[in-house]
Amino acid sequence: MRILICGDVIGRNGRDTINKYIPDLKKRLSIDFILLNVDNAAGGFGITSEIANSFFKLGADVLTGGNHIFDQSGVAAFLESEKRMLRPHNMPTNVPGRGVSETITDSGKKVIVIHLLGQRNMPLIGNDPFECSNNLLSKYKLGENADAIVVDFHAEITSEKNALGHFLDGRVSVVFGTHTHIPTSDDRILEHGTAFQTDVGMCGDFDSVIGMKKEIVVEKFSKIQTKVKFTGATGEATLCGLLVDTDDKTGLANSVKPIRLGGLLTQTII
């Protein structure tokens, strides 16, 4: 199975680059399953039902959020009704929505997506992601009742992301990090067969500070007491993603490759 993962989509230009590249990638690379992290898709803060539905029409199978998932009004009701739109699983049980999805692809393969939130230096606090994922994996087994298991770990600290990758190694198809918006160069297959990247990066303008207008953020850091309103950068975005091929029998990774298209970053050849 071939899985395409795209990092945090930032604002309108992030959405534009998704619209530009996803249809071609899906067709040309014979993608079986597409996951987008959309925690910043609405002006840099959260997601709306209208934007989410536009991604589904484009071919996305599942959308994940993060600490900004509830920023936009009306999204709670959408999370309750739309099973393909996930908030982090390791949140209190009374929080609207769900953090796990089950999808049957056109070829009849069953893909499980697990969305988790980190505990270190995050403004939105969740329960222990290690315990939560461990409990879920008593239900889902690669090669038995799941053809692929994909884990989006929305976390700030690289060590926490690395630790979860090793914790889940051999039990899921891929663990990838989101939230920090900077693509790391450590894409690899771990010892027991799980594909991993600490952070897949963002689908946003890199002439910025993690997708926000650089002048505003520089002012915030250089003038500590200044109150500023962050605004999304508006230049051409780079699509940052990860392409994972899994074994049809085991569900573990056969190959993993980063994707960078458009904008300022060095482009990948695919």
Is residue 47 predicted with pLDDT exceeding 70? Answer: yes
User: How many percent of the chain have pLDDT more than 90?
Assistant: 90
**Secondary-structure breakdown of the chain: helix, strand, coil percentages, each rounded to the nearest 5:** 25, 30, 50
Is residue 126 predicted with pLDDT exceeding 90? Answer: no
* 39 inside domain: yes
Cα angle for residues 42, 225, 207 (degrees, 5° grid): 45
Nearest Cα residue to 152 out of 111, 213, 109: 111
Segment 167-211, tens digit of pLDDT:
999 999 999 999 999 999 999 999 999 999 999 999 999 999 999
* 270 inside domain: no
The enclosing domain of 107 has a CATH number of 3.60.21.10
* 268 inside domain: no
Nearest Cα residue to 44 out of 199, 229, 215: 229
Average pLDDT, the chain: 96
40 pairs with which residues across the strands?
10
77 CB contacts (<8 Å, ≥6 apart)? 96
* 102 inside domain: yes
Mean pLDDT value of segment 85-102: 95
pLDDT band at 225 (very low <50, low <70, confident <90, very high): low
* 269 inside domain: no
pLDDT band at 217 (very low <50, low <70, confident <90, very high): very high
How many angstroms separate the CA atoms of 218 and 213, rounded?
9
Q: If 0-12 CB within 10 Å is exposed, 13-18 middle and 19+ buried, where does residue 257 land?
A: middle
Annotated active-site residue in 68, 154, 179, 181:
68
How many angstroms separate the CA atoms of 185 and 57, rounded?
31
In this structure, is the dihedral angle defined by the CA atoms of residues 240, 254, 137 and 30, taken in order, positive or negative?
Answer: positive
* 214 inside domain: yes
Active site residue 166: no
List the domain range (segments joined by +) for residue 96.
Answer: 2-261
* 185 inside domain: yes
pLDDT at 219: 87
pTM for the predicted model, two decimal places: 0.96
- Per the rule left: phi > 0, alpha: psi between -120 and 50, beta: everything else, 155 is beta
Is residue 125 predicted with pLDDT exceeding 80? Answer: no
How many folded domains does the chain comprise? Answer: 1
* 44 inside domain: yes
How many angstroms separate the CA atoms of 13 and 7, rounded?
14
CB 201 within 8 A of CB 178: no
Cα 245 to Cα 150, 160, 185, 189, distances in angstroms: 12, 25, 18, 11
